[in-house]
């Protein structure tokens, strides 16, 4: 039987606008007359299940993206599918107190979830995942596999066969490639290719992924849309990669989250009216928040590059708290310059020439 008002339910393996770690999210669209108390009811039901399952007090988030309500919970890395069931059962129980919707008793649901937890449990994977996060290495979670490190230092393991964390050479796993993330509404693929060519001309073996291919060192590994997590994994796991440029599309950010945990630079080209009313994103403000997730992967001294002419980019750059390098096709109006900090300078075009203005505070 279909769950009332449920639009979608999905696992999350990376950072999202709701969670900082793995978990699950449901997208719902309840009617206005019962929605006021649904978020609090759902969070209470999730807490009951998470404690009963031994997960403890997990992070639980409910947020309205008018006209939809998103409900998300964090979960152990080996229990992400179960987390979607917890989210769905909690939704049904929350509804049952507000409308005529019959559900099994909680004790029966708990017993069913406990059996599913036991079947899916891989404690070695949980320990490995936690240690990798603590060590601060690049960690890429795939469908059925997980890897740490990058390029020649990358190691990939099946979910069911993770290594003993004490047997990992963690200093080697911390070897870092230069990584650039590219997103925005327009110009992502063109910018990705341009940056990849620049790095290649500088003598680096460059890997890049975009909407039509994934390539390393000029060799096409595959032709398809690789602007999601799968493309990032192919580039960062390839042993020859010395410099990575990764296109990051909206769909992958919403479907699974930001797969890359550590990057040197993140570029947001612009925010414009495209792909709205899809996967729970209905406004430009919401879309901007999703796109600027890439800033959360930046290293402490990483740089956010974005568009000084775009109001949404200016606002999200301010909220990010990151050092920003700005660009603009035309020199920005003085009123715009007064509202931003040129921490890393401004690139623009004047009289047909590319101009870079040195960093100074306005």
User: 55-70 pLDDT, tens per residue?
Assistant: 999 999 999 988 899 9
Q: Which residues pair with 8 in a beta bridge?
A: 27
- The model's pLDDT over 291-313, given as tens digits with 9 standing for 90+, comes to 999 999 999 999 999 999 999 99
Measured CA to CA in angstroms, residue 21 lies from 75, 88, 259 at distances of 8, 19, 10
Mean pLDDT, all residues of the chain:
92
Q: Is the pLDDT of residue 362 over 50?
A: no
Which of 96-110, 120-134, 185-199, 238-252 is least confident? 96-110
- The model's pLDDT over 183-238, given as tens digits with 9 standing for 90+, comes to 999 999 999 999 999 999 999 999 999 999 999 999 999 999 999 999 999 999 99
- Report which of 72, 1, 87, 69 is spatially closest to residue 32, judged by C-alpha positions: 69
Q: Is the pLDDT of residue 261 over 70?
A: yes
- The model's pLDDT over 278-292, given as tens digits with 9 standing for 90+, comes to 788 899 999 999 999
Q: Is the pLDDT of residue 247 over 50?
A: yes
Which tokens belong to 281? Answer: 């994103």
Is cis: bond before 67, omega within 30 of 0? yes
- The model's pLDDT over 171-181, given as tens digits with 9 standing for 90+, comes to 999 878 999 99
**Span 333-353, mean pLDDT?**
76
pLDDT band at 338 (very low <50, low <70, confident <90, very high): low
Measured CA to CA in angstroms, residue 356 lies from 17, 323, 351, 360 at distances of 33, 16, 13, 12
Domains of the chain from N-terminus onward: 6-120 (3.30.1360), 123-171 (no CATH), 179-361 (3.40.1190.10)
- The model's pLDDT over 69-96, given as tens digits with 9 standing for 90+, comes to 999 999 999 999 999 999 999 999 999 9
Q: What's the pLDDT score for residue 361?
A: 47
Q: What's the pLDDT score for residue 336?
A: 67
Q: What's the pLDDT score for residue 339?
A: 61
What is the C-alpha end-to-end distance of the chain, expressed in Å?
A: 59
């Amino acid at each position: 039987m279909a769950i009332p008002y449920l639009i979608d339910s999905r696992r999350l393996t990376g950072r999202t606008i709701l969670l900082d770690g793995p978990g699950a999210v449901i997208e719902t669209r309840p009617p206005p007359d019962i929605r006021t108390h649904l978020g609090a009811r759902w969070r209470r039901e999730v807490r009951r299940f998470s404690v009963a399952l031994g997960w403890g007090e997990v992070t639980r988030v409910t947020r309205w993206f008018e006209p939809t309500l998103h409900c998300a919970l964090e979960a152990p890395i080996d229990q992400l599918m179960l987390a979607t069931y917890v989210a769905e059962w909690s939704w049904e129980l929350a509804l049952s107190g507000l409308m005529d919707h019959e559900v099994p008793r909680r004790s029966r649901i708990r017993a069913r979830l406990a059996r599913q937890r036991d079947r899916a449990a891989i404690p070695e994977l949980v320990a490995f995942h936690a240690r990798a996060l603590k060590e601060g290495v690049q960690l890429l979670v795939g469908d059925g596999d997980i890897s740490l490190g990058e390029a020649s230092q990358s190691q990939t393991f099946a979910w069911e066969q993770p290594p003993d964390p004490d047997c990992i050479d963690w200093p080697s796993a911390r070897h870092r490639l230069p990584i650039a993330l590219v997103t925005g509404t327009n110009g992502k693929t063109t910018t990705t290719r341009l940056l990849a060519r620049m790095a290649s001309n500088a003598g680096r073996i460059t890997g890049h992924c975009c909407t039509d291919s994934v390539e390393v060192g000029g060799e096409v590994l595959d032709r398809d849309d690789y602007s999601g997590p799968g493309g990032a994994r192919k580039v960062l796991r390839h042993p020859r990669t010395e410099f990575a440029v990764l296109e990051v599309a909206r769909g992958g950010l919403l479907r699974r989250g930001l797969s890359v945990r550590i990057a040197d630079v993140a570029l947001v080209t612009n925010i414009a009216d495209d792909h709205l009313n899809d996967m729970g994103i209905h406004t430009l403000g919401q879309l901007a928040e999703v796109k600027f997730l890439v800033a959360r992967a930046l290293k402490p001294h990483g740089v956010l590059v974005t568009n000084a002419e775009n109001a949404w980019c200016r606002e999200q750059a301010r909220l990010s708290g990151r050092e920003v390098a700005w660009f603009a096709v035309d020199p920005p109006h003085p009123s715009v310059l007064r509202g931003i900090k040129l921490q890393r300078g401004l690139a623009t075009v004047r009289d047909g020439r590319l101009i870079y203005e040195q960093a100074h505070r306005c």
